[in-house]
Structure 1
């Protein structure tokens, strides 16, 4: 499965458009649960160990799980760094990777990050923004850490696409209820 993932675009305009195309009408723990399980099942099917993390910008964790055994403490650090990048710059970490062509020194220089601060951010694929219609900025993020950065990015993209396909045309019974 991982080897069949398409190579992600490196075009910043296309990446920004892709990110915005996944704007949700709303985003709750239910969305995170379904997306997190889509990711976990895909990674388990591929026999790939990775950490899956979905949280709100307010730091509330909605989903956090390894796909299977084999994780190291460094994966948690990568999750934190990718999440921080998405929330600060409002783009996927793959977008930031492409923007700076992987040059972490150029990235740190551009944003005036000192030696201590630059370690809080990562410009490696796998962190993805969550946008909600009518809400300014990023409301949360989806992070995968443990694969090659291109795979980390694309497995998230594919999971959100799968989620969107599942949701198209679905009307929750809760949304059809009227309160009297």
Structure 2
């Protein structure tokens, strides 16, 4: 992870640009596994106490927890991923979009906060020509750090794939 301040608040345009840029040409079980391993290695190198989940169409293809992660992190993975499934955008984007409109997601979405959490850390798996087919999620760090871990690992993973 880079050294940007954790207080950085990406704009909706910046978050949308990430989603437009971080697109897969294909996504299968092997892709999920390789990306999951890359995320685990990045989190381990940063000594991040996180849980990681990758799902396609609701099926969990990869799950791991690093030292320090708890069962609560698994709950956060599910709730953040549910937001991506519902809205087709990163969980950080959805939360920021509600705040930009002067609203709180928990109060204004009409969704059960026990099932949905618009906190950073879940990112859509977008396949070119298809759209959002799943989620990549991290939980255990402050929400913008969870999001950043996913985005930075995904950027490196896709750059390697296209090289």
TM-score, with length taken from structure 1: 0.81
The structure having more radius of gyration, on CA atoms, is 1
Look up the SS of the partner of 2:63 in the other structure.
strand
Is there any run of 5+ residues in structure 1 with no aligned partner, and where?
A: 170-180
Match of 1:65 in 2: 64
SS in 2 for 1:44: helix
**1:51 to partner: Cα distance:** 0.4
Return the alpha-carbon distance in structure 1 between the equivalents of residues 14 and 63 of structure 2. Answer: 29
CA contact 1:127–1:153 (8 Å) conserved in 2: yes
- CA distance in 2 between partners of 1:15 and 1:100 (Å): 14
> Structure 2: which 5+ residue stretches go unaligned?
none
> Displacement of 1:17 after TM fit?
2.0
Shift of 1:6: 6.1
CA contact (8 A) 2:99 2:105 kept: no
Q: How many residues align?
A: 162
TM-score w.r.t. the length of structure 2 is 0.89
Please, which of 100, 122, 127 is the counterpart of residue 122 of structure 2? 127
Who is 1:78 aligned against? 76
Cα separation, partners in 2 of 1:109 and 1:70, compared to 1, 3 Å: closer
Is 1:44 aligned with 2:38? no
SS at match of 1:118: coil
Aligned partner of 2:140 among 126, 135, 146? 146
The RMSD of aligned alpha carbons is 2.2
Larger proportion of strand: 2
